[in-house]
Every structure is written in C-alpha cells, then in structure tokens.
Amino acid sequence: MAQWTSAVGAAQLARLLNSQQERPAGPGTRRPPAYRALADGVRLLVLEGRVPVAARLPAERELALSLSVSRTTVAAAYEALRAEGFLESRRGAGSWTAVPAGNPLPARGLEPLPPEALGSMIDLGCAALPAPEPWLTRAVQGALEELPPYAHTHGDYPAGLPALREMLAERYTARGIPTMPEQIMVTTGAMGAIDAICHLFAGRGERIAVESPSYANILQLMREAGARLVPVAMAEGLAGWDMDRWRQVLRDAAPRLAYVVADFHNPTGALADEDQRRRLVDAARSAGTVLIVDETMSELHLDEGVEMPRPVCGFDPAGSTVITVGSASKAFWAGMRIGWVRAAPDVIRSLVAARAYADLGTPVLEQLAVNWLLSTGGWEQAVEIRRTQARENRDALVTALRRELPGWEYDVPRGGLTLWVRTGGLSGSRLAEVGERVGVRVPSGPRFGVDGAFEGYVRLPFTVGGAVADEAATRLAVAARLVESGANGGTDAPRTFVA
C-alpha cells in the first residue's frame, strides 16, 4: 500500500509485544540483540495479523519510552524491518507496516475440490457439508408442485419471489426485528448479495474496513472490485471484536463500508456479544460507515446453552447504518444458492434497480424450495441435522488434532463451521502446499488476511468426522513434519516464518 490506513499507539504495541511468549533458548544458544528481538516481535505480530498491514507505527522515541529501551534500539529495529520489507517509511508521514514483495497470497485452498477427486484427497478447503437429506429432496419436490403458476410468467423477479420475501420478513420480525417485505431482496447466494452492495456503495478506490482475519472469498471479491481493504485485528481467541481498534479505524480511515461476521465468525468462530454489537453500530453511525453484517452462520450454534445475542440490525432501528446478509448455503446446503439482503426500503430499491445490469434475478425453483422449507417447518429440522453433523465433526477433528498435533493452538468455538489454528511456528502456506501432496487439502492463513498476514495459521472446517477426521489429522501431522524438516520438494520456500 502507498500509505498507512490505521495506526497502532506506543502503549498498545508495547502490550502486544509483551504478550508474546518468549521461546526458551536451547543449550548454547545466544540471545539475539535487543533490536533484533524487537524487530522479530513486530514482524511476528504482522504475520499473525495482530498488527494490521498498513498500520502506522509509533515514533521511535514514543515506542522507546513505552518499552523502556533506548531510542537507538528502536531505530535499529525499524531499520531492520525496512530492510526486510516489513516496514515502509516516508518523511513527514512516518512508518507503517508492510509485507515484503514476493510473498503472494496462496492461490489454492478454498475452491471446491471436484467430486471425482475426493477418493484420494481429504478436502478441508471448503466449509460446506453434504445436503441434509431427506429435506433437500422434499424441498425440491414441494417446489415442483408450486412451480406451474410461475411457469406462466416471464420468470424474472429482480427483488425475489413475493412469497419468499414475505416469509423472510416474517422471520426477522419473529426475532424481534420488525421487517416489511419491501426491506428484503433475494439474491444468488450471500456472495451475490455482498457483490451487489459493494458495487452500489463503494466505487473503485473506496476504503472498506474488514475484520482481520476475515472470510477469504469476500476479501477477494472486494479486491477484484477495486476496494482498498482496511484490516481491523480481532480480539484474542474467541473474544470477538476489539472495539478500541474498531473505533480508531472508523474514525481515522473513514471507510465507506465495513464487512463483519458477528455470528460464529469465519474463520475464528468468535461470537460478538450484544455490547460489542451496540458499540460497533454506534461507531459506524458516527463515522458515516455502512455496516455489511454477514449472518450466514447465525443458526449454527452447536453447544447446549448458547444464548444468541440480538441481530446487529436490532441496534439500528432507523435502518440507516446496517445492511444484513443471510444465506441458505451454510445452514442448509451450499448447492442451494439462495441468499438475501435486509436493508432500508430505499437501499433495496437501489439494489433491485442495479440488478438489471447484473444477473436480473435468482432462479425461481430454488426460491420455491427455500420457501417450502421455511413455511412447512422443514427448515428447522434440516438445520438441526446440520448442527448435529457439524458438532460431531468438530469434536472428532479436535480429538484427532490433540492426539496428532499437540503443539498446535486453537480455541474451540461453540458454533459455526471452522477452527482457526496456530501451527506452532510453521508456515501455513507451506503446510497447504505439502499437505496437498500427502492427500489433505487445507487453506493457509494468508488467504484470510490482507497482504499476507496470518502466515502461521490454517483454517480447518468441520466437514469430516470419524475415521476420516483421524486420517486428516494424521496426514496433517505428516505434512507438518515434512515442512519442519525442510523437505520442500525442490522449492526454496522457508520452512518457518520465525527467526
């Protein structure tokens, strides 16, 4: 990036550096100089995504005071980071974090694996489960029975079938969010919804604030739309959003849009609480930022006793700040490409008008199938099957990982479909590459960050269970040993990202 888009204060950076666990030195190992240890600490924070790329760092004197070291030490550390490509500076503008050229985002790992290749490869790239039968078949049969009246029309419904819009509005109302059908547009999946919103609100070059990490496919969609992504680091573990960082970014960068996943965040699994939701809406309203809230995981609470907070749009009664996106893809089946937008009526009208130059509308038969599920009670029964599948798969995967890779770190989420795993210092990109050669396909951490962050992570979805989960963990352990030993199959990629 040409310039910084957020800032990290001296006290905040000192806390992050002090939170890093120091690795014990082996016998005869000499400690690195103080400037080298500081540079390595900042580099690790950037690669893990705890300090965003393009974040302005504090002045040398300020950081020296916060760390109780000499200014010379900080200056030498900054110079080392500049030489390695992790820091850029400009006179009068300060210094901001970067990722070196030549560290491209991995190109593989999220695209669905062709079904014919599933026999030899365990696919952990796509967070999607098989259809919850018999409900898919019943829904399609029900849709076919409802189809004849629609077959006598032209079949284009840019806002969606009236019956489905009304049903979705009723469901929001039942959740305590009064909603009219005029506030709903049916889309071709959540991706289609977010693509339409971005094109309406954010032209090329506009800033969009995103969680760091965030859902990889949405990040790529926004990049291709020409957006300037402004990453906002998540709080540690499953704590949700870091509201101090969100307020600072919204105030300083003034992004046109912000994209968040409040319910069982993809990839971390975090669930934002009601206070975080209220404060984020207030901060976005003050900054003039429109929030895109992705609710695709909202029904996938897996443990007993999980109390779901109010939807984010419930804290925006005027409807001027929050646009909500939902989908049948995660809760029901990825092959059911039905999504929807809930927003103010004027926003829906604008989205519908723009659709004339995009996809015109969503397939009628699939809309009728989702409407059949929602109107007959089939949706709730199908989602319960989905929860049971995901819960059993999650528990099997965690058990297998603890056995095969005890050094890997993660917090087990209480819902969603993904586990965000710190790989003990190994490169996630190398694990993805080597894993594919040993028969397990995983997406590396940088896919979920901006400009190469999260090199030390992989995302593992709850898509396999039982013996397959055991075998997946065994193959990951093989891949980890190969990466750690430097058996890189002829490539010259580094085996780890830590010094």
Report the share of the chain in percent with pLDDT over 70: 90
Tokens, residue 412? 């087990």
Name the average pLDDT for the chain: 89
Torsion of CA 443, 448, 452, 457, to 10 degrees: -60
* pLDDT one-digit tens code per residue, 152-189: 999 899 999 999 999 999 999 999 999 999 999 999 99
> Phi and psi for 407 in degrees, rounded to 5?
-85, -10
Q: Which amino acid, 14? A: A
Q: Residue 164: CA atoms inside 13 Å, Cβ hemisphere, count?
A: 29
The alpha-carbon radius of gyration of the chain (Å, integer) is: 23
* pLDDT one-digit tens code per residue, 226-281: 999 999 999 988 999 999 999 999 999 999 999 999 999 999 999 999 999 999 99
Average pLDDT over residues 412-423: 97
Q: Residue 24: CA atoms inside 13 Å, Cβ hemisphere, count?
A: 2
Q: Is the pLDDT of residue 21 over 60?
A: no
Stretch among 37-46, 62-71, 439-448 having the lowest mean pLDDT: 37-46
* Alpha-carbon span 217 to 213, nearest angstrom: 12
Is residue 404 helix, strand or coil?
A: helix
Is the CA virtual torsion 118, 121, 123, 129 positive or negative? positive
Torsion of CA 83, 86, 88, 94, to 10 degrees: -110
Most distant CA pair in the chain, distance:
82
Q: Is the pLDDT of residue 348 over 50?
A: yes
209 — pLDDT class (breaks 50, 70, 90): very high
| H/E segment holding residue 484 | helix 466-485
Please confirm whether the linkage preceding 130 is cis (ω < 30° from 0). Answer: no
The β-bridge partners of 337 are none
CB 249 within 8 A of CB 6: yes
* pLDDT one-digit tens code per residue, 293-320: 999 999 999 999 999 999 999 999 999 9
Q: Is the pLDDT of residue 192 over 90?
A: yes
Is residue 305 helix, strand or coil?
A: coil
CA angle in degrees (0–180, nearest 5) for 246-199-1: 50
* pLDDT one-digit tens code per residue, 89-148: 988 888 999 888 765 444 344 566 666 555 688 999 989 999 999 999 999 999 999 999
Tokens, residue 65? 């005071």
* Alpha-carbon span 217 to 276, nearest angstrom: 25
- One-character DSSP codes across 436-459: HHHTEE--BGGGGSSTT--TTEEE
- One-character DSSP codes across 278-326: HHHHHHHHHHTPEEEEE-TTTT-B-STT--PPPPGGGG-TT-SSEEEEE
Q: What is residue 393's predicted lDDT score, i.e. its pLDDT? A: 97
Is residue 294 helix, strand or coil?
A: strand
| H/E segment holding residue 388 | helix 378-404
Torsion of CA 435, 437, 441, 447, to 10 degrees: 70
Residue 176: which region, alpha, beta or left (left: phi > 0; alpha: psi -120 to 50)? Answer: left
Order the strands of the 6-7 sheet from edge to edge.
6-7, 55-56, 94-97, 87-90
Of residues 118, 123, 107, the one with CA closest to residue 435: 123
* Alpha-carbon span 243 to 259, nearest angstrom: 15
433 — pLDDT class (breaks 50, 70, 90): confident
Q: What is residue 487's predicted lDDT score, i.e. its pLDDT? A: 58
Q: Is the pLDDT of residue 1 over 50?
A: no
> Phi and psi for 449 in degrees, rounded to 5?
-120, 180
Q: Is the pLDDT of residue 403 over 60?
A: yes
Of residues 45, 73, 352, the one with CA closest to residue 192: 352
* pLDDT one-digit tens code per residue, 318-335: 999 999 999 999 999 999
CB 422 within 8 A of CB 408: yes
| H/E segment holding residue 14 | helix 10-19
Is residue 49 helix, strand or coil?
A: coil
* Alpha-carbon span 295 to 314, nearest angstrom: 13
